[in-house]
A and B are shown apart, each in its own frame.
Chain A
Amino acid sequence: MGKNVLKRIDLIFKHEDDCHEVLQKTLKRSDDELINELIGSGLKGRGGAGFPTGLKWKLTREAQGDVKYVICNADEGEPGTFKDREILATVPYKVLTGMAVCGKIIGATNGYIYLRGEYRYLVKDLEAEINKFHKICDEVGLNFRIKIFLGYGAYICGEESALFESMEGKRGEPRNKPPFPTEFGYMGKPTVINNVETLAHTWTIFKYGAKKFRDLGVQDSRGSKLFSISGDTPIPGIYELELGMTVEEFVEDFGDGDTKAVQVGGASGFCVPRKKFRDIAIGYQGKLTGISLPTGGSMMLFNSSRSMYNVLHNYLEFFAEESCGQCTPCRVGTQQLLQGIKAVKRGEKPAAYLDKLLSLSETMKATAKCGLGQSVANSFQSIVENFREEMIY
């Protein structure tokens, strides 16, 4: 506890007041050079899925289309995540600059920030920042405008295609993929959609060069990452750390001495029990020691006073409420999992019923239409398998 094993990084929240110069200098470089810099940095999306950012911009640049868009995903609805709010509140100009440079590269003149309704209090200050930024764009001769689009209490709208539907004035129901946003995004046009933190990292890469970013992290998981840390920890908050740490190292720094499990990646992420802390690293798929877990940065700690049944129950209620209801495996499956664990807990169903539920979650993973329904299995299986007794007694 509190050992400070992990190096604290201070890139994202470092205040820098040279927005004008950074934008001007960056825009002087060729599109190819910028894309190569981004690809070379190894930056992967910080919204959860981890798609290489440079490649996303490159594909959208190459896509056919007279009109294109840049969208900043500030829906931040994953339980346990609160870093994007802090970025927009303290260093919004880094995000705006990232959007503008992206716009220039892909050929877009309009950008949007999809801001969750829960963060509406930010709108006033953010609009003022956007107006300041528009002046800078004019000064450096860039035709680019940014608007805020306000969400209204729907977790699913963080899923990129549901987000486009929502912006188009419809129900936030995910689309079939492909086509992907790089070809068919907002209004059916080629669109780059990036997480708030991803865009903030592009500032560092364009200002200081890919190496500064690449020197942090390990193998396939480069750079630093913001972690939103909550639950049973003496020091909850937002921390910038290098990718590649093990859960054990993390717990040494942030645990309360009695950590029994860590939920990595929020309700749609994985529960890591104490006996596996050493084997699991935080980063993207790759050659990390043992298994690695990609993440949007939500880290929730649970100590031995917590019932993992209550934790799972809370997550399942969340999914059942937030499922958009469009496809059966997810609409019905989330309800059945929730009712199922309740029935086992009350003794109305035998313990073996948990195995039925496990296979139902596996079916959802294979057949649900979008990431919400597909990822319910992550927390369900990792909690039920590791804390089976707590589900029964």
Chain B
Amino acid sequence: MALLQERVKELVAKYGRSRENLLPVLQGIADTEHYVSEYAMQLVAEEMGLSAADVYGTATFYSFMETTPRGKYIIRVCKTISCFMKGKNQILLALEEALKIKLGETTPDRMFTLLETNCLGWCHKAPAMLINDDVHVDLTIEKVHQIIREYKQKANN
């Protein structure tokens, strides 16, 4: 908890206390903690001189701002029309199989969370997904298994 306090202080010092820095501060917390807890929101509110309700209202508005604990790698599979037409459902099944979790869940070791999202801007290379900030396109079932193997290796090293 003391660590989180430090992190919040550090971010507010980096970006500044005025309100227009709220989103960058919250993003900074999500980057290291993989989510923004209500406690973190309170700390931010105190540090920036805002009401906790204001911080909560802003944080919960943005779909990438996770407010429950998530894995180190957040997978977001595109479910919008072009990806849907190019077999997004099979990709999702392959991910569920590779990770042994269902959509919306996090692996017990807190490595992966599997989510869906709207159009990622790669429709010409559908189906597409994000793993944290990295884009993966032209997905096939084999490719999905390969990618997850690589991330698991990365996570174990």
Chain A interface (Cβ < 8 Å from any Cβ of B): 76-82, 85, 116-121, 149-155, 166-173, 187, 228-232, 236-238, 267, 300, 302, 306, 310-311, 314-315, 318, 321-322, 324
The reply to whether B121 and A318 contact each other, CB–CB distance below 8 Å, is no
User: What's the Cα separation between A82 and B124 when bound, in Å?
Assistant: 8
Q: A residues within 8 A CB of B62?
A: 117, 151-154, 172
The reply to whether A121 and B133 contact each other, CB–CB distance below 8 Å, is yes
Of chain A, the residue at the smallest CB distance from B19 is A169
Q: B residues within 8 A CB of A300?
A: 81-82, 123
Range of interface residues on chain B?
A: 20 to 34
Q: A residues within 8 A CB of B134?
A: 121
What 6 A-B pairs are tightest by C-beta distance, nearest first? A169-B22, A153-B64, A153-B63, A236-B124, A230-B123, A152-B62
Question: Does B130 reach chain A (CB closer than 8 Å)?
Answer: yes
Chain B interface (Cβ < 8 Å from any Cβ of A): 19-24, 27, 57-58, 61-65, 79-82, 84-85, 117-126, 130, 133-135
Q: A153, A173, A314: which contacts B65 (Cβ < 8 A)?
A: A153
Of chain A, the residue at the smallest CB distance from B118 is A318
Q: B residues within 8 A CB of A318?
A: 80, 118-119
Closest CB in chain A relative to B55 CB, distance in Å: 9
User: What's the Cα separation between A121 and B133 when bound, in Å?
Assistant: 6
The reply to whether B81 and A80 contact each other, CB–CB distance below 8 Å, is yes
Take A152-B23, A153-B63, A306-B85 as given contacts and tell me if A76 and B124 are in contact as well, using a CB distance cutoff of 8 Å: no
Q: B residues within 8 A CB of A314?
A: 79-81, 84
Closest CB in chain A relative to B27 CB, distance in Å: 6
The reply to whether A82 and B122 contact each other, CB–CB distance below 8 Å, is yes
Q: A170, A171, A238: which contacts B124 (Cβ < 8 A)?
A: A238
Of chain A, the residue at the smallest CB distance from B24 is A150
Q: A residues within 8 A CB of B58?
A: 169-171
Can you list 27 A-B contacts (CB < 8 A)?
A: A80-B82, A80-B119, A81-B119, A82-B123, A117-B62, A118-B130, A150-B24, A150-B27, A152-B27, A152-B62, A152-B63, A152-B64, A153-B117, A154-B62, A168-B19, A169-B20, A169-B22, A169-B23, A170-B57, A172-B61, A228-B123, A229-B124, A231-B85, A238-B124, A306-B85, A318-B80, A318-B119
User: What's the Cα separation between A236 and B22 when bound, in Å?
Assistant: 39
Q: B residues within 8 A CB of A78?
A: 119
Q: A residues within 8 A CB of B20?
A: 167-169, 187
Of chain A, the residue at the smallest CB distance from B65 is A152
Closest CB in chain B relative to A90 CB, distance in Å: 14
Closest CB in chain A relative to B49 CB, distance in Å: 12
Q: B24, B63, B79, B126: which contacts A230 (Cβ < 8 A)?
A: B126
User: What's the Cα separation between A77 and B118 when bound, in Å?
Assistant: 8
User: What's the Cα separation between A87 and B45 when bound, in Å?
Assistant: 37
Q: B residues within 8 A CB of A85?
A: 121
Given A77-B119, A118-B117, A172-B62, 18 more A-B residue pairs with CB atoms under 8 Å apart are A77-B118, A78-B119, A79-B81, A82-B122, A116-B121, A118-B130, A149-B23, A149-B24, A154-B62, A170-B22, A170-B57, A171-B57, A171-B61, A228-B123, A315-B81, A318-B80, A318-B119, A324-B61
Of chain B, the residue at the smallest CB distance from A162 is B61
Take A150-B27, A171-B61, A314-B80 as given contacts and tell me if A322 and B124 are in contact as well, using a CB distance cutoff of 8 Å: no
User: What's the Cα separation between A221 and B128 when bound, in Å?
Assistant: 33
Q: A79, A150, A172: which contacts B119 (Cβ < 8 A)?
A: A79
User: What's the Cα separation between A189 and B36 when bound, in Å?
Assistant: 31
Of chain B, the residue at the smallest CB distance from A229 is B124
Closest CB in chain B relative to A188 CB, distance in Å: 12
Q: A residues within 8 A CB of B61?
A: 154, 171-173, 324
Q: Counting chain B CB atoms within 10 Å of each CB, which of A77, A117, A150, A172 scores highest? A: A117
Q: B residues within 8 A CB of A321?
A: 118
The reply to whether A119 and B117 contact each other, CB–CB distance below 8 Å, is no
Q: A170, A171, A187, A310: which contacts B84 (Cβ < 8 A)?
A: A310
User: What's the Cα separation between A150 and B64 when bound, in Å?
Assistant: 11
Closest CB in chain B relative to A239 CB, distance in Å: 10
Q: A166, A173, A238: which contacts B23 (Cβ < 8 A)?
A: A166
Q: A residues within 8 A CB of B125?
A: 236
The reply to whether B80 and A230 contact each other, CB–CB distance below 8 Å, is no
User: What's the Cα separation between A117 and B125 when bound, in Å?
Assistant: 19
Q: B residues within 8 A CB of A116?
A: 121
Closest CB in chain B relative to A79 CB, distance in Å: 4
Of chain B, the residue at the smallest CB distance from A80 is B123
Of chain B, the residue at the smallest CB distance from A85 is B121
Of chain B, the residue at the smallest CB distance from A325 is B61
Closest CB in chain A relative to B132 CB, distance in Å: 9
The reply to whether A322 and B81 contact each other, CB–CB distance below 8 Å, is no
User: What's the Cα separation between A321 and B115 when bound, in Å?
Assistant: 14
User: What's the Cα separation between A167 and B124 when bound, in Å?
Assistant: 30
Q: Counting chain A CB atoms within 10 Å of each CB, which of B65, B81, B118 scores highest? A: B81
Q: A residues within 8 A CB of B119?
A: 77-81, 318
User: What's the Cα separation between A302 and B81 when bound, in Å?
Assistant: 10
Q: A77, A153, A154, A311: which contacts B81 (Cβ < 8 A)?
A: A311
